[in-house]
Structure 1
Amino acid sequence: MENQRTLADGLRLGVRALVHAVVGGAALIAIATVASVLGPLLALDLYTPPVAAWWTVFTAIAVQGVPFLLLGTVVSAAIGAFVPERVFSRLLPRNQALAVPVAGAAGVVLPGCECASVPVAGSLMRRGVAPAAALAFLLSAPAINPVVLVATSIAFPGQPEMVAARLVASLAAAVVMGWLWARFGKERWLRLPGAGRPPATGLRGFASGLQHDFLHAGGFLVLGAAAAATFNIAVPRAVLDVFTGSAWLSVLLLAVLAAVLCVCSEADAFVAASLSGFSPTARLAFMVVGPMVDLKLIALQTGTFGRAFAVRFASATWVVAVASSVLVGWWLL
């Protein structure tokens, strides 16, 4: 009888947490949608079109990211509550240098964007996965999953080399960053909330993990979206046009734009395809950098792993992703 009561209580908590998360996500989307409609109207009434543009970009990023953030937090909570640690020890090689490419290649199985990968990587670390392997998964999952690759093939019809280049460059950057963390990463840089205590399991653990992760990461998603929207309206178009005449500067420009525009990985290929004035390598850099380093992702990493980690990891990842794009672009494009 006592076991049945405990199970019923846990089930109620789990259902309640899922409902709260779904309702919270729906409420955030509804607020952002209303803001996207009323914001531009108010801005036009006040004769401030830049504010209308800011609202449009901000709500587009927020509405685009919330469903994937919810997916990531559900997967993260489920991993923490229901998957035993021994599962990961069996799936990944004990040698950290070998575990990194295996984890990077495993990113192909999660059809989500970077908003989902951060909480999942945090959950993997709390379950005993080596940080280097979890970080390789974090970087590769949004960039090489089937949804992204199919979208890339549609955005670049008749150009299978662009799909192959994105796959190779993204996976290479993720694996290199995993190896770099294994070699140079410091434990004190990485803050894992809840790492010092044994994780709660079962439906009760799922409920508490889902509520904490979604509410915690959602605020940083909003901050990242606001920062990206501000950049979009603050930088004049004429400044961007200066860089299109140089092959090297165009690569750096699109790599920077990928970081600040915060386009979801499932849609960034269509944005890259529209940038017809840039070289194929520059557009490849846009698609490789975006899912690994952008403002909302940096904000999410800061909230999940701490500022000391996010600053170092994002900076190194941007350099590695650009270098990987240039090398692979020279080879395949």
Structure 2
Amino acid sequence: MTATEERPAVRPQQRRRVTSLEVLCVVLVLALLLQNQLVDALDIPALRTGATVFVAVCVQAMPFLVLGTLISGAIAAFLPAEVLRRALPQRTVLAVPVAGLAGVALPGCECASVPVARRLMQQGVAPSVALAFLLAAPAVNPVVLVATAVAFPGKPEMVLARFAGSMLTAVVTGWLWSRFGKASWIASRALQRLPAGGSSRWAVFAETARHDLVEAGGFLVIGGITAAALNVLVPSTLLESLSGQWVLGIVVMALLAVVLAICSEADAFVAASLSALPLLPRLVFLVVGPAVDVKLIALQVGTFGKAFALRFAPLVFTVAVVSGTVAGLVLLGGTS
């Protein structure tokens, strides 16, 4: 090698990061290997009850969660956002409910609906229309409605009330944003066209489904643990006392939906496990959760900017609580 020849650059070795999925697999393997010792050490009635509730919630919800993430990945990879844009009416007042109804045919989780809404805005769709789709898609799609029917067997009115409350939330919020919202509230970066990626459609499908499953699965575990803790730590008499104070019950369950941030494909099983509460507060929980929660607020801050999220989140929360309450009073037989 001559002095004029350049030596090939030596890349520093990158240290491989351990992901949360690998940690979860290790924990599950250890739990299987040490199950006898764990059973002996944790043979406490309250823990047994909590573990039963946790497993029941996760096992019931997981098939719907997997199905939802597969559909979400297929939409991201094979269904361009231009299809929805071309099908929308020109007038915003009509386009908002049409975008809400499109959520029935284009299911996805809350996390997936945020980038889809941004993509629609980038392609010229009015923000109010894109936001109506953002709210409707994770709440009124067939996967969520079937999961609700399974979680509440023999109560078809609960499915209808959830659909009505969520659709009303999406449409009313879209109309209010079209009337009072300002373009300056949305970060300019959210409206800039993004360069097309070079990945194949199947690679996009696999990556989107994997990402949604890992993210949503983590929130499902948190929700299952919380549901188990509520069943064990909170006296049933306390939850039953809310049946006579339905206003307080609605407020508590609405705030709980924001804090828990459970995926819409799994939240029905968590709500069903809180059997001491009447149906109306649990319905509000199901309407508020897919519309606004802590993870959605964080995603919206990162996607649309802080100015947007500070105005959009309180608006959606208020509309969702009112819409869920109205739907429950009409379709669930009063405050039952």
Match of 1:155 among 151, 167, 171: 151
Q: What CA distance in whole angstroms lies between the structure 2 residues aligned with 1:109 and 1:156?
A: 23
Q: 1:260-296, CA deviations, whole angstroms, 9 ceiling, x for partnerless residues?
A: 1112111111111122222211111011111111111
1:30 equivalent among 5, 22, 25: 22
In structure 2, the residue matched to 1:318 is 317
* CA apart distance, 1:257: 0.6
Counterpart residue identity of residue 131, structure 1: P
Which runs of structure 2 are paired with 1:98-117 in the superposition (5 Å)?
A: 98-117=94-113
Name the amino acid aligned to 1:187.
A
Richer in helix (by share): 1
Separation (CA, whole Å) in 2 of partners of 1:97 and 1:169: 19
CA drift at 1:199: 3.6
RMSD: 4.3
Q: CA deviation at 1:30?
A: 2.5
Distance (Å, rounded) in 2 between the aligned partners of 1:222 and 1:152: 18
Deviation at 1:128, TM superposition (A): 1.6
Partner of 2:195: 200
From the superposition, tell whether residues 221 and 144 of structure 1 become closer, same or farther in structure 2 (CA, over 3 Å). closer
Q: Which residue of 2 aligns with 1:8?
A: none
Name the TM-score, length of structure 1 as normaliser: 0.69
Q: Distance in 1 between matches of 2:293 and 2:190?
A: 26
Residue among 159, 163, 179 paired with 2:175: 179
CA distance in 1, matches of 2:106, 2:262: 18
Q: Which amino acid aligns with 2:126?
A: A
**Share of identical aligned residues, percent?**
49
- Measured in 2, the distance between the counterparts of 1:288 and 1:310 equals 19
Where does residue 185 of structure 2 map in the other structure?
Answer: 189
Change (3 A) 1:305 1:34: farther
- State how far apart, in whole Å, the 1-side matches of 2:296 and 2:154 are: 31
Which stretches of structure 1, 4 residues or more, deviate above 3 A after TM superposition?
A: 31-39, 64-79, 201-207, 220-225, 240-245
Does the alignment pair 1:266 with 2:265?
Answer: yes
Q: 1:217 to 1:191 in 2, by over 3 A?
A: farther
Equivalent residues of 1:104, 1:171 under 8 A apart:
yes
> Is 1:118 matched up with 2:114?
yes
Given the alignment, which residue of 132, 139, 145 partners 2:141?
145
In structure 2, the CA distance between the partners of 1:191 and 1:66, relative to structure 1 (3 Å rule), is farther
Q: Is the Cα contact below 8 Å between 2:68 and 2:143 reproduced in 1? A: no
Cα–Cα, structure 1 residues 32 and 186, in superposed 2: closer, same or farther, change >3 Å?
Answer: farther
Identify unmatched segments of 5+ residues in structure 1. Answer: 1-23, 45-52
Report the structure number with the largest CA radius of gyration: 2
- Give me the whole-angstrom Cα distance separating, in 2, the residues matched to 1:67 and 1:300: 23
Q: Secondary structure at the match of 1:193?
A: helix
2:81, 2:120 within 8 Å by CA — same for their partners in 1?
Answer: no
When residues 120 and 288 of structure 1 are mapped into structure 2, their CA distance, relative to the original with a 3 A threshold, is same
Q: Secondary structure at the match of 1:203?
A: coil
User: Offset at 1:193?
Assistant: 2.9
CA contact (8 A) 1:110 1:145 kept: yes
| Pair 1:133 & 2:122 matched | no
**Equivalenced residues, count:** 287
Within 5 Å, which residues of 2 pair with 1:1-333? 27-34=19-26, 75-76=75-76, 83=80, 85=82, 87-191=83-187, 193=189, 195-196=191-192, 198-201=193-196, 203=198, 237=234, 241=239, 243=242, 245-333=244-332
Quote how far apart the aligned CAs of 1:252 are. 0.7
Residues of 2 paired with 1:110 and 1:249: CA distance? Answer: 35
Quick check: 317-326 or 272-281, which moved more?
Answer: 272-281
Counterpart-to-counterpart distance in 2, 1:37 and 1:305 = 41
TM-score when normalising by structure 2: 0.69
Structure 1 residues 116 and 35: CA distance shift in structure 2, 3 A: farther
